[in-house]
């Protein structure tokens, strides 16, 4: 699921990519400047040490008290990248042969005319044990035998075998809009202006920011604050505040249907089956 720590991490990644397009081993886009980019608020002693050596700090932190519930869509489970089953089937006449790799998170099914049987794979299963389990289940309604990884249904006119894998899905439980403060802590005004401008340009050019759970958040500019501490001439600061509207999600692997209602049509080419549900 995505939370504010994921958003902060994503913002750090965007800022790092903008300032160091060739990676942290390469030069900063602001010549002669070294930056440390991180989540949270700086530790005073560490910040003072960095500023003394000319190192700019850029911190990313949620602004507490600036969060709003923006949920406005219905509860849906959204399929993610499709997962293919590792167990395979091959039908020939009245036999079904299983192959590939048996693994949990899959359901194997055999439909013989109007009879059917299904089996949810266990950790100890093999193609042979799947054939045996389906034969045992099918024998409650019609004759069936298993030999090795092959299942035979004597007299079957229409024999179909399917394997379905559980599919990764995301459920959006709510959405929220949270303000995040991107602060540049710099040793001089020129560095502050150049670094802050580069960061602001990068963020303002993005409409949606990608998050670790494959969702995205809507990024919008909110405000800018400049602070020069007269009591500390070595610290020049600019705060850029952006809001991110992002979802809180629940991830789960949900089963796909292996057996359901279907229609059958007969024409010159034979029988054609269409799964309806």
Would you kindly state where each structural domain of the chain is located, as residue ranges? Answer: 4-74+172-249, 84-165
**pLDDT value at position 276?**
43
Phi, psi (degrees; rounded to nearest 5) at 95: -125, 150
Pairwise CA distance, residues 144 & 34, whole Å? 73
Q: Is 204 helix (H, G, I), strand (E, B) or coil?
A: helix
Q: Which helix (H) or strand (E) holds 107?
A: strand 106-112
Whole-number Å distance between alpha carbons of 67 and 180: 10
Kindly state the greatest CA–CA separation across the chain. 93
pLDDT of residue 131: 97
CB 38 within 8 A of CB 56: no
Report CA-CA distances (Å) from 199 to 12, 59, 209: 10, 12, 14
Q: How confident is the model at residue 139 (pLDDT cuts 50, 70, 90)?
A: very high
Half-sphere exposure of 92 (CA within 13 A, CB side): 4
What pLDDT digit, counting tens, does each position of 31-54 carry? 999 999 999 999 999 999 999 999
More confident: 106 or 252: 106
Give per-residue pLDDT as tens, 50-104.
999 999 999 999 998 888 999 876 667 777 888 899 999 999 999 999 999 999 9
CB-CB contact of 244 with 217 (8 Å): yes
Question: Helix or strand or coil: residue 133?
Answer: helix
In whole angstroms, give the CA distance from residue 85 to residue 78.
Answer: 19
What's the CA dihedral at 17, 18, 23, 29 to 10 degrees?
-170
Beta strands 262-267 and 270-275, pairing class: antiparallel
By mean pLDDT, which of 9-23, 177-191, 202-216, 227-241 is the weakest? 227-241
pLDDT at residue 154, rounded to an integer: 95
Residues of the chain with pLDDT > 70, as a percent, come to 90
- Given a contact cutoff of 8 angstroms between Cβ atoms, the answer to whether 20 and 26 are in contact is yes
* 143-166 per-position pLDDT tens digit: 999 999 999 999 999 999 999 999
pLDDT, greater one: 10 or 3:
10
DSSP symbol at 113: T
What pLDDT score does 79 carry? 79
Q: How far apart are CA 122 and CA 52, in angstroms?
A: 61
Q: Does residue 207 register a pLDDT over 90?
A: yes
> Can you give the pLDDT at residue 3?
82
| Domain 4-74+172-249 belongs in CATH node 3.30.2000.10 | yes
CB under 8 Å to 225, separation ≥6 — which residues? 238, 239, 241
Q: Give the pLDDT band of residue 220 (cuts 50, 70, 90).
A: very high
- Average pLDDT estimate for 227-251: 83
CB atoms within 10 A of CB 140: 9
Average pLDDT of every residue of the chain: 89
Cα–Cα nearest to 120, from 256, 238, 212: 256
Burial of 191 by CB count in 10 Å (0-12 exposed, 13-18 middle, 19+ buried)? buried
The pLDDT assigned to 122 comes to 95
Q: What is the mean pLDDT of residues 215-243?
A: 85
pLDDT recorded at residue 277: 40
Asked if the model's pLDDT at residue 130 lies above 60, the reply is yes
């Amino acid at each position: 699921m995505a939370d504010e720590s994921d958003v902060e991490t994503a913002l750090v990644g965007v800022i790092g990519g903008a300032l160091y397009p060739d990676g942290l081993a390469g030069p900063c886009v602001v010549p002669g400047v070294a930056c440390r980019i991180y989540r949270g608020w700086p530790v005073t002693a560490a910040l003072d040490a960095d500023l003394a050596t000319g190192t700019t700090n850029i911190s990313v932190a949620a602004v507490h008290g600036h969060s709003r519930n923006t949920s406005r869509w219905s509860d849906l489970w959204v399929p993610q990248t499709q997962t293919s089953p590792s167990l395979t089937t091959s039908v020939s006449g009245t036999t079904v042969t299983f192959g590939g790799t048996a693994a949990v998170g899959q359901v194997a099914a055999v439909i013989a005319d109007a009879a059917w049987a299904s089996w949810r794979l266990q950790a100890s299963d093999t193609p042979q044990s799947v054939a045996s389990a389906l034969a045992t289940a099918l024998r409650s309604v019609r004759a069936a035998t298993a030999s090795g990884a092959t299942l035979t249904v004597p007299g079957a006119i229409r024999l179909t075998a399917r394997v379905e894998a559980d599919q990764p899905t995301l459920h959006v439980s709510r959405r929220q809009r949270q303000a995040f403060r991107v602060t540049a802590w710099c040793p001089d005004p020129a560095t502050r202006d150049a670094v802050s401008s580069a960061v602001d340009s990068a963020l303002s050019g993005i409409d949606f920011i990608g998050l670790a759970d494959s969702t995205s958040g809507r990024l919008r500019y909110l405000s800018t604050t400049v602070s020069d501490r007269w009591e500390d001439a070595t610290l020049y600061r600019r705060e850029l505040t952006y809001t991110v509207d992002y979802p809180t999600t629940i991830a789960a692997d949900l089963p796909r249907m292996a057996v359901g209602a279907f229609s059958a049509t007969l024409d010159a080419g034979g029988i054609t089956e269409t799964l309806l549900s």
